[in-house]
């Protein structure tokens, strides 16, 4: 189970354990935020009578096993569709009463297809939705590229989707926003502009992520796609950068915490991962392709991201934001309780090269 263990074995002098991480980022504030002993307030470890358990306002345990659909094949659109079809009943049940859907692809930049969710993966999602859902569907992204989100829609072939499926393409960076707070540089509470769309309780969010390595948190999948898509980039100032810190390992923990923190309010309803051609090495923008030919889908995006991390050849127990969310009961964190539907997991094992900055701190 994902338990929030120390990131490395005791005695490995090259790497930092959790106590050192918390010390490096300000143990007073951050340690309390993560529940003291464990990196993430684990309900199972709370003392009897704890306000956390008594009030039940923050977290709850996830007892039910999670289903993750995993499909391998030779056509991206088809395997994405089939991944969703494998969990059709769950998805359709969750859509009841929902009047609007946001499909959030990943355009971290707008000029390199390998770094972005492929349009045919989104077509696979729309193929699945259209026979069942008659409400409003928006495809929205909030790129960091100065050229703007519509540059990505154009470069990546998304513009025809409006006529093909009667959906609307939206630059979320042009939408209204609300202030929230994150830990910024110097570990100070810092106001950050969050795109209001992600805070809409009536919106059904589908995270259509790309399977990639990352330069600060090892992997970037369905959760990070939404959590780091939510801060505003108005093309004059990019607030997404406020969630980050320097490249040293202690400072990186700030990004893990900020994602955990934002996830209390911003969270996808359905996760989909485009892993047909994934990225390894110096992701999320400058890596190299991996011919994986897989797609994943789940109503439990955390369970799916944990499984995808394992498929990529990394240990999810070492990735702090996944560990914290699992301990907080935001999704199923126990690999033994994740039921894989579709292609056997044994046929989808890879060994991705990590970003070169992650090799030493994560002992990769």
Give the model confidence (pLDDT) of 281-335 as tens digits.
Answer: 999 999 999 999 999 999 999 999 999 999 999 999 999 999 999 999 999 999 9
Residue 14 has pLDDT above 50, yes or no: no
Helix (H, G, I), strand (E, B) or coil at 181: strand
Report how far residue 110's alpha carbon sits from residue 128's, in angstroms, rounded to the nearest whole number.
26
What pLDDT sits at residue 348? 98
Averaged pLDDT, 260-282: 97
Banded model confidence at residue 250, pLDDT cuts 50, 70, 90: low
Banded model confidence at residue 58, pLDDT cuts 50, 70, 90: low
Averaged pLDDT, 233-237: 97
Task: Kindly state the helix (H) or strand (E) to which residue 179 belongs, with its residue range.
Answer: strand 177-183
What pLDDT sits at residue 253? 86
Averaged pLDDT, 41-56: 34
Q: Token pair for residue 204? A: 């059904």
Instruction: For each of the domains in the chain, give its residue range(s) and CATH number, in order of start.
Output: 18-358 (3.40.50.11440)
Report how far residue 199's alpha carbon sits from residue 61's, in angstroms, rounded to the nearest whole number.
23
What pLDDT sits at residue 338? 97
Residue 213 has pLDDT above 80, yes or no: yes
Report how far residue 40's alpha carbon sits from residue 260's, in angstroms, rounded to the nearest whole number.
8
What pLDDT sits at residue 185? 80
Q: What average pLDDT is seen over the chain?
A: 85
What pLDDT sits at residue 63? 55
Question: Which percentage of the chain shows pLDDT scores above 90?
Answer: 76
Residue 216 has pLDDT above 70, yes or no: yes
Residue 42 has pLDDT above 90, yes or no: no
What is the C-alpha end-to-end distance of the chain, expressed in Å?
21
108-152 pLDDT, tens digit per residue, is 999 999 999 999 999 999 999 999 999 999 999 999 999 999 999
Averaged pLDDT, 336-361: 96
Task: Kindly state the helix (H) or strand (E) to which residue 32 belongs, with its residue range.
Answer: helix 32-33
Residue 246 has pLDDT above 70, yes or no: no
Q: How many CB atoms lie within 10 A of CB 166?
A: 11
Helix pair 88-95, 76-85: axis angle to 10 deg: 70
Residue 203 has pLDDT above 90, yes or no: yes
Residue 18 has pLDDT above 60, yes or no: no
Q: Which CA distances in Å does 314 have to 69, 78, 106, 306? A: 19, 27, 21, 9
Question: Which percentage of the chain shows pLDDT scores above 70?
Answer: 81
Partners of residue 278 on adjacent β-strands? 290
């Amino acid at each position: 189970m994902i338990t929030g263990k120390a990131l490395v074995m005791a005695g490995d002098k090259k790497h930092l354990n959790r106590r050192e991480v918390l010390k490096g980022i300000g143990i007073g504030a951050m340690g309390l935020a993560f529940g003291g002993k464990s990196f993430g307030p684990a309900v199972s470890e709370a003392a009897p009578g704890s306000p956390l358990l008594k009030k039940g306002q923050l977290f709850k345990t996830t007892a039910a096993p999670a289903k993750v659909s995993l499909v391998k094949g030779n056509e991206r659109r088809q395997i994405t569709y089939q991944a969703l079809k494998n969990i059709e009943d769950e998805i359709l049940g969750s859509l009841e009463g929902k009047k609007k859907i946001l499909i959030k692809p990943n355009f971290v930049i707008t000029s390199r297809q390998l770094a972005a969710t492929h349009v045919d993966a989104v077509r696979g999602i729309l193929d699945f939705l259209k026979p069942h859902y008659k409400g409003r569907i928006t495809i929205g992204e909030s790129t960091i590229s100065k050229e703007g989100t519509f540059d990505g829609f154009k470069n990546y072939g998304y513009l025809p989707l409006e006529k093909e499926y009667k959906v609307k393409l939206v630059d979320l960076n042009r939408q209204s926003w609300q202030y929230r707070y994150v830990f910024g540089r110097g570990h100070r509470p810092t106001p950050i502009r969050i795109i209001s769309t992600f805070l809409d309780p009536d919106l059904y969010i589908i995270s259509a992520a790309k399977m990639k390595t990352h330069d600060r948190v090892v992997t970037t999948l369905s959760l990070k796609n939404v959590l780091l898509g939510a801060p505003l980039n108005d093309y004059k100032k990019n607030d997404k950068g406020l969630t980050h810190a320097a490249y040293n390992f202690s400072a990186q923990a700030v990004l893990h915490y900020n994602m955990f923190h934002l996830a209390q309010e911003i969270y996808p309803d359905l996760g989909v991962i485009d892993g047909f051609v994934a990225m390894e090495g110096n992701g999320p923008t400058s890596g190299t392709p991996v011919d994986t030919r897989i797609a994943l889908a789940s109503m439990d995006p955390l369970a799916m991201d944990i499984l995808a991390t394992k498929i990529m050849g990394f240990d999810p127990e070492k990735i702090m934001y996944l560990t914290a969310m699992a301990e907080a009961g935001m999704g199923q964190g126990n690999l033994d309780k994740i039921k894989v539907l579709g292609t056997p997991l044994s046929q989808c094992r890879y060994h991705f090269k990590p970003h070169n900055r992650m090799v030493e701190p994560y002992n990769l």
